[in-house]
Amino acid sequence: MMREFEAKDGIMQIGGVSTVDIAEEFGTPVYVTDEQRLRENYRNIYGAFSRFMDTRIHYACKANTNLAILRVLEQEGSGIDAVSIGEVKTCLKAGFSPDRIMYTGVNVSDRELKEVTDLGVMVNLDSVCEMERLASIAPGVDVSFRITPGVGSGHSAKVTTGNKGAKFGIPLDQVISTYARAKDLGFNVKGIHAHIGSGGQVVEPFMDMMEVLIELVNEIKNLGIDLEFIDMGGGIGVPYRPQEEEMDVGELAMNLTDMIQEETDVKTIVLEPGRYIICDTTILLTRVNDVKDAGVKKYVGVDAGFNTLIRPAMYDSYHHVALANRFGKACTDKYDVVGPICESGDYIAHDRVLPDPQVGDLVAVYDAGAYGFSMASRYNSRPLCAEVMVCDGKADLIREAETVEEQWTRQVIPERLRL
Ligand SMILES: *Cc1c(COP(=O)(O)O)cnc(C)c1O
């Protein structure tokens, strides 16, 4: 089931703080993250797998790279899945040691590979070409390989990554020759990795992927390479709708670890959950600026658009919405919740029943922690918004809102055009 929130005097609360107070103190739009929930989500997923075998959780930080959020996960003992040098450096800044970070880039430059390996971060290779390039940049380092398992899963075709012919990973028929070549090149080959996609809600594709990985592990063993870990990637979905079922991570963990322990000598499972850990920790609070009856449709115009949260516009994703300042009130009519961006595709929610929204009301957008702020943009010259963390009844600013002026600081007007 989707996460539920408490109300106090008709006002939605998060982490023991009133959403109305947060909006007043920090302005809107604002992302609000519940620290306690973040810790709980980490412990849930780690606990589900570590009951059965040695487990490493590598939080896929592209979902959300706020430094305060990374600090919480560093304290919890998490590792990191990073996909760029920017993410690697951000996680080092947040206190992760290089050995807790694995870098899984795709189509990355020699320069980036050098920077990553110079920092002591392990590379998970995506192609034969990348392996050959790395051999001359950082010979003999620890590596693993991302393979294309031929199994895809995800909430949208745009985030399905493991299917045959995908741009990601070593094609199945080249995997064994690639491991043999890596050994010849003198790399220290540690593991095997696959990531089937993001937001899958069923266990089966993960089992199908694991079957493929296990067969490969045993063929790779015949080359004289004993792998230390199997990395099953991320992609565990979460319920975005009120009545939607959760994936049973206990069952997922039991099935996958069973397969590994029965059929291989591999001792460690690695997972890279992003969405699962961060999604429901965070709501987006946005103020109603305008209401409009357009005849065939009624609109609630808020101050967050696809510049703030792009998932509805980009993936047709569902995010639950509620009026935070009249929480749980009886609903009157159906509305589209739309933003301030000058495009028809700019929306937060379609056809939602809400209790007679008025100018000045506060809309809470649920499950905004994953791929929310991290995909935000400055489109329409709207500054990036603030982020707040709540814990035990206290709210802390964890990112100041940008200013319009900051958008000009890197721009240069040639002399001949100056004012
Ligand atoms: C995006 C990504 C993940 C995380 O996906 P979620 O759906 O957020 O769990 C994990 N591993 C890799 C390599 C990724 O690119």
Residue 159 has what pLDDT? Answer: 87
Count the residues in the chain: 419
**CB 26 within 8 Å of CB 397:** yes
Task: Calculate how far, in angstroms, residue 358's C-alpha sits from the geometric centre of ligand 1.
Answer: 39
Cβ-Cβ contacts under 8 Å for 315 (sequence gap 6 or more):
155, 156, 158, 159
Query: Closest Cα to residue 182, out of 227, 213, 238, 241?
Result: 227
**CB 172 within 8 Å of CB 212:** yes
Q: Is 62 in the pocket of ligand 1 (CB under 6 A)?
A: yes
Residue 311 has what pLDDT? Answer: 98
Residue from 107, 161, 198, 232 to probe ligand 1 pocket by mutation (most atoms less than 8 Å from CB): 198
Q: Is 342 a catalytic residue?
A: yes
Beta strand 386-391 pairing with 362-365: unpaired
| pLDDT tens by residue, 67-119 | 999 999 999 999 999 999 999 999 999 999 999 999 999 999 999 999 999 99
Supply the Cα-derived Rg of the chain in whole angstroms: 23
Task: Calculate how far, in angstroms, residue 156's C-alpha sits from the geometric centre of ligand 1.
Answer: 14
Which amino acid would we find at residue 210? M
Q: What's the CA gap between 181 and 133, in Å, rounded?
A: 13
Q: Is 235 in the pocket of ligand 1 (CB under 6 A)?
A: yes
For residue 160 the two structure tokens come to: 């399905």
Strand (E) or helix (H) holding 58: strand 54-60
Q: Is 199 in the pocket of ligand 1 (CB under 6 A)?
A: yes
Q: Residue 42 pLDDT more than 90? A: yes
Beta strand 79-82 pairing with 347-354: unpaired
Cβ-Cβ contacts under 8 Å for 273 (sequence gap 6 or more):
45, 57, 59, 60, 234, 235, 236
Count CB neighbours of 267 within 10 A: 14
DSSP annotation of 109: -
Beta strand 30-34 pairing with 229-231: unpaired
Q: What's the CA gap between 272 and 28, in Å, rounded?
A: 32
pLDDT confidence band for 1 (50 / 70 / 90): confident
Residue 160 has what pLDDT? Answer: 86
Residues 254-280 have a mean pLDDT of 98
Task: Calculate how far, in angstroms, residue 59's C-alpha sits from the geometric centre of ligand 1.
Answer: 8
| pLDDT tens by residue, 21-38 | 999 999 999 999 999 999
| pLDDT tens by residue, 139-179 | 999 999 999 999 888 888 888 888 999 999 999 999 999 99
Q: Is 305 in the pocket of ligand 1 (CB under 6 A)?
A: no
**CB 198 within 8 Å of CB 235:** yes
Residues 299-303 have a mean pLDDT of 98
Task: Calculate how far, in angstroms, residue 199's C-alpha sits from the geometric centre of ligand 1.
Answer: 9
Cβ-Cβ contacts under 8 Å for 177 (sequence gap 6 or more):
none
Q: What is the pTM of this model?
A: 0.97
Beta strand 282-293 pairing with 298-302: antiparallel
Only one residue has tokens 């963390």, namely: 389
Residue 236 has what pLDDT? Answer: 96
Residue from 144, 195, 202, 231 to probe ligand 1 pocket by mutation (most atoms less than 8 Å from CB): 195
What are the Cα distances from residue 382, in Å, to 126, 376, 400? 36, 10, 14
Residue 199 has what pLDDT? Answer: 86
Strand (E) or helix (H) holding 193: strand 188-193
Query: Closest Cα to residue 242, out of 353, 319, 176, 130?
Result: 319
Residue 407 has what pLDDT? Answer: 96
- Rounded to the nearest integer, the mean pLDDT of the chain is 97
Count CB neighbours of 119 within 10 A: 14
Residues 318-335 have a mean pLDDT of 95
Please give the distance of CA 96 from its chain centroid, rounded to a whole number: 18
Query: Closest Cα to residue 114, out of 82, 99, 147, 136?
Result: 136
Helix 85-93 to helix 110-118 angle, to the nearest 10 degrees? 20
Helix 67-76 to helix 35-50 angle, to the nearest 10 degrees? 40
Question: Which of helix, strand or coil describes residue 69?
Answer: helix
Residue 149 has what pLDDT? Answer: 95
Q: Which atom of ligand 1 is nearest to the CA of 83?
A: 15
